[in-house]
Structure 1
Amino acid sequence: MAPPVGKRVKGIQIFRPFIYGTTARPFDDKTNPKPAGVPDDHTHSWTVFVKGIDDVDITYWLRRVQFKLHESIPNHVRMIDGEKGRSFAISETGWGEFEIAIKLYYVPDSGEKPQTLYHHLRLHPYGRTDEEKETMRLNGGEVISWTYEEQIFNEPYEAFYDILTQGALPSPSSGAAAANNKPGSKGGKGGGGKSKEKDGGKQQGGGQQQPQRSEGGVLERSAMIPLTNRPGQPFSRETEQVEIKKLKDALVKVEDLMRKTTEELTKKEKRLKDLRADAA
């Protein structure tokens, strides 16, 4: 591997969102029939993957992904090289759940060492709400176990920094248009908020303004996430706000419980004090 070009860009952190996880479906005669040659004891088909948020291309920073499956599966260590326009994914069949090791290999310009993530393959919708189970039933029993993650590059090398920031591109699913679009997003995370990376608003050669995100969409090579949920895209600003509201509501309940517990404790301490005084 060729050494990274240039020095590190000090004081800068750049992040890129992505998703990893598994999708599983039980075999049945209508929506998911068992293919010929699949062992009799296999009950599900499933896919494990790593992909960009909103299905944008991530091969400009992620070169290769290794999936380490259960040892009982033939060729249980699989290596998938990046190819623009598709996710890093493998599909299999089976009957049991197990932990999958997912090893990320970055592009040579990054100078970054591989990183390993761990994901538990889930075939059954245990621990879910009745509403979620009903949704899975309507979707042919599809069990989705996805994780939203943000890859952080801390003080990237100059050449890699240029790759990450060379400009946002319109993604196939973003619907970015020349008219009625919104200003580009400012992405990036700095340690303690010290630095920010601008993903939109730069100019390309010839003075042309870069494409900007339309309502609900994202730009490739950016740190954006969709504004709203869409089928097959459960991670968005809308989801973020729903989770924030859940946390705020839970905090209110916890604070109320603490207040009631404190009042009850105060009463019991007073009662204990009075009993000790009477006994004296």
Structure 2
Amino acid sequence: MAPPAGKRVKGLQIFRPFVYGTTALPFDDKTNPRPDGIPDDHTHSWTVFVKGIDDVDITYWLRRVQFKLHESIPNHVRMVEGEKGKPFAVHETGWGEFEIAIKLYYVPESGEKPQTVYHHLRLHPYGRTDEEKETMRLNGGEVISWVYEEQIFNEPYDAFYDILTSGAVPPPLPGKSGTATTTTTTGGSSSGGKGGGKSAKEKEKDRKEQQLQLQHRSEGGVLERSAMIPLTNRPGQPFSRETEQVEVKKLKDALVKVEELSRKVTEDLKRKEQRLAELKADAAKPVV
């Protein structure tokens, strides 16, 4: 693929979060009846997908996705074109688990080659404990196996940089007119419009209005075309700052346990070394 026209933005790295994985649900006469024509040995319906965090649109940087399923499945290589506001997804039924190759094709402006990730279809909960297994279940008994990922674009081309950083518009606050200005998330900065000849007082008012809108927006979902993730978990949206803090706490607690175990092992080793030295000293004494 020929690189797009224009220069690269040197020294810049932009990332965009997304989720990929599978969701499976066993056939049940009440909640998930088996459709007509489905083989009797198929036990589950399942979906493999790639989508944006909080279901935001990602087709501005991801053009299409190829899902390579098990060879026993008819038409096992599926190409899904991007459709604004919808996930890239394949729906199927089956009885066995297997690895799925997911190939990501970026928009032409990116100049990026396709990349492949791999994901194991899970029809049944897994984990070391019952608690870990239960975390794989959504309301209704669906088994989820999802992965949070961040797509990194190093030194993007000018045209692609404009695509990545445009359109991040917060919604108006309740009771306010919808005149929000455009914001970007690269480098932790934001930029607004030129002001159109407004007075300094009007510009300052607009700036404060924008800050309030961004604050209001950050309490809920995700700004379009941004690197944000939600602050809290919601049904069907397990990835958020809240999730991140829970995982950080787990890692800190585990680190404390490891350090305590390491301390005990070190003390035990010192006692054994001391005892070994004593035995060697005793053995070296002449026999009277």
Q: TM-score, normalised by structure 2?
A: 0.85
Q: Tell me the equivalent position of 2:59.
A: 59
Counterpart secondary structure, 2:280 = helix
Q: How does 1:30-49 map to 2 (within 5 A)?
A: 30-49=30-49
State the superposition RMSD in angstroms. Answer: 2.4
Other structure's SS at 1:7 match: coil
- The aligned residue for residue 199 of structure 2 is none
Partners in 1 of 2:218 and 2:126 — Cα distance?
Answer: 38
* 2:100 pairs with 1:100: yes
Give, in angstroms, the shift of residue 202 of structure 1. 1.9
Q: Distance in 2 between matches of 1:75 and 1:4?
A: 33
The structure 1 residue matched to 2:192, chosen from 203, 228, 248, is: 203
The one-letter code of the counterpart of 2:263 is R
Letter in 1 for 2:220: G
Superposition pairs of residues 1-280 of structure 1, within 5 angstroms = 3-127=3-127, 129-131=129-131, 133=133, 139-170=139-170, 176-178=171-173, 187-188=185-186, 196=187, 198=189, 201-204=190-193, 212=214, 213-280=217-284
Report the CA distance between 1:185 and its aligned residue: 9.0
Give the aligned residue type for 1:271: R
Alpha carbons of 1:140 and 1:133: their partners in 2 closer, same or farther (altered >3 Å)? farther
CA shift in 2, pair 1:134/1:169, >3 Å? same
Structure 2 CA distance for partners of 1:132 and 1:140, relative to 1, 3 Å: farther
Shift of 1:279: 1.2
Bigger radius of gyration, 1 or 2? 2
Inter-partner Cα distance in structure 2 for 1:251 and 1:32: 43
SS of equivalent to 1:144: strand
Q: Using the alignment, how far apart are the partners of 1:136 and 1:252 within structure 2?
A: 27
How many Å separate the matches in 1 of 2:242 and 2:133? 22
Shift of 1:157: 0.3
Deviation at residue 131 of structure 1 after TM alignment? 3.6
Q: Which secondary structure state, in structure 1, belongs to the residue aligned with residue 229 of structure 2?
A: coil
Three-state SS of the structure 2 residue aligned to 1:219 is: coil
Take 1:180 and 1:275, find their aligned partners in 2: how far apart are those partners?
A: 84
Task: Identify if the C-alpha distance between structure 1 residues 56 and 105 changes in structure 2 by more than 3 Å, giving closer, same or farther.
Answer: same
**Deviation at 1:205?**
6.5
Equivalent residues of 2:136, 2:145 under 8 A apart: no
Distance 1:103 1:205 in 2: 41
Q: Which runs of 5+ in 1 are unaligned?
A: 171-175, 189-195
In the alignment, structure 2 segments of 5+ residues that lack a partner are 177-181, 197-205
- Count how many residue pairs are aligned between Structure 1 and Structure 2: 264
Aligned match of 2:200 = none
Residue by residue over 1:42-97, the C-alpha shift from the partner in whole angstroms, topping out at 9 and shown as x without a partner, is 00000000000000000000000000000100010011111111010010000000
SS of equivalent residue, structure 1 residue 139: coil
Q: Which one-letter code corresponds to 2:100 in the other structure?
A: I
When the two structures are superposed, what TM-score results if normalisation uses the length of structure 1? 0.87
Q: Distance in 1 between matches of 2:183 and 2:233?
A: 18
2:201 maps to which residue? none
- Does structure 2 retain, via aligned residues, the 8 Å contact 1:167–1:202? no
Preserved CA contact (<8 Å) 1:185 1:224 = no
The separation in 2 between residues aligned to 1:87 and 1:251, in whole angstroms, is 37
The verdict on how the C-alpha distance between 1:42 and 1:214 changes in structure 2, with shifts beyond 3 A counting, is: same
Paired AA for residue 43 in structure 1:
T
Question: Matched residues, percent identical?
Answer: 80
Inter-partner Cα distance in structure 1 for 2:24 and 2:133: 14
Conservation of the 8 A alpha-carbon contact between 2:18 and 2:53: yes
